[in-house]
Structure 1
Amino acid sequence: MKSPPSGKDTLAEPPTYDLIELFFFAYRDFVSDPDRILDEYGFGRAHHRVLHFVSRNPGLTIAELLDILRITKQSLNRVLKELIEKNFIESRTGTADRRQRLLHATAKGHELALKLATLQTCRITRALSEMEPEAKDMVSRYLLRLIDPSDSAHVKHLVFGSEET
């Protein structure tokens, strides 16, 4: 687990409890819609994250997925095993390196990932529709600045396909 950014451990002003708590409540509600659907399959949030990134990045390796999620290999293996056994994800042998396992969402897995993303998109769209037109870009820039600077370029590339934004 990463420590807080250096030099920012102590503040002259009190913590921003309002924003901290808004993050907690926003996250709670942002994941609540998918949580209800996932529960029908006996899945949790870890399954959601794995399915999301595999569906969005066909051919992702296990090492790349571990790097994105920053979870232990043991945790990933348990979740991945369930998703494979229930035919939401398939693991294919790499063509260049036969030791590599490339992960792909099945049609069933892609359909579930899209259903969950649609629920979350509706929530985001509703919130943005009540704001200025440039709000989406501002929110994106703000969220990117919350990410550790050492990981920012990697996340930008993963999310936007480039180093720009």
Structure 2
Amino acid sequence: MSTLLAIAITTGILSGIWGWVAVSFGLLSWTGFLGCTSYFAAPKDGVRGLLESYATNLTGVFWAMVIISGSQYMSIEIMGYVLTGIVSFLMCIQAKKQWLSYIPGTFIGCCATFAANGEWQIVIPSLLLGGAFGFSMKASGLWLHKRASAEKSLQQSVINEQAQ
């Protein structure tokens, strides 16, 4: 079994479970899938990738709220766009810090917050649990691949011994 097939199997199973969890607990399932995607696309792997994904997603939520809140206090519409430009610059420049270097994660958190109309209280747990599911999807897929490979190797050894 290839690594891709193993990850696809566990991702399929855990995606269904995530959908049920999200609905059962009143979370945003699509936001959870963004958290999952953020983990899968992170440049680092494992726990480090998950933590960097979390850090950047959460700063994205923060920056979205800065734009949303700041725009409400500006009476000239063009100033909201200026604020968006400034904050977008800050979202990128924060990547100078190693833990915040995953710029797409920041934009994922920001966009999720915009799409949820600024309801950050529901966006944050949805992103975090989605990221945890993404981590679980990949980790369990790698485990399944390793187990299937070991089993195939054992079967091949038995066949080779019988042939001798």
TM-score normalised by L of structure 1: 0.34
Rg larger for: 2
> Which of the pair has the greater relative contact order for Cα pairs under 8 Å at 6+ separation?
2
**TM-score, normalization: structure 2?**
0.34
